Amino acid sequence: MIFITSFPGVVVNIDVKQGGDELIEEIDKLITAHKREKSTKWGSFKEDSSLKCYTIRRVLIKTVQISNEKNLTQNPEVGRYFSLTGVIKLYLHFFTGILPFISLKETHLGIPLYSSKESSHLTRRQQFILRIAKFLIIRPALFRHLNKRGIPTYAWVLNTETEFQLALDAGVNGIMTDYPSKLRNFFVNQNF
């Protein structure tokens, strides 16, 4: 709550880990009360919670439209990111070539690119699987396609300059990190 009121211009990504309609409605009320609709993205890796985030906004918007026909833009939708199921479907549609013909409800893609620090404790086999997953996930053509559709891509959690550069080279629009100062210095050094 303090963050929402203290930093109104900062984009916030809300991950609804669990919760029923009541929790999602309360989060939605906070977003609306603080006029954070345009600077908040929300969803969940769990499909049911993610769908609730989408559905609650649709119901509230329709209620506002019916009760106040003159102010149809009074309550714009909050950006919604892909659930895990949505990410899997997105990549399947991409790899099969049918993505251009598929309608998407989501407005943002957030993908994990786990840092080397987090993978250092893994076995060789697990590290190999992680490398394959990164290879499959980092698809510049997909990111370009989504950008053309107005869907930005964010990579998380990147903590090294090598990872920052990998994400930028792949064409992501945003980077989430545990070290904002390190990322800022990277951008300054790159003359961004």
For 61-72, the pLDDT digits (tens) are 554 444 444 333
The per-residue pLDDT of the chain, averaged, comes to 84
Give mean pLDDT, residues 133-151.
94
Q: Using CA of residue 44, residue 45, residue 49, residue 55, what is the dihedral sign?
A: positive
Asked whether residue 19 carries a pLDDT value surpassing 90, the answer given is no
Which range has the worst mean pLDDT, 114-118, 140-144, 173-177? Answer: 114-118
The whole-number pLDDT of residue 65 equals: 45
Q: Using CA of residue 61, residue 65, residue 67, residue 68, what is the dihedral sign?
A: positive
Q: Name the pTM for this structure.
A: 0.81
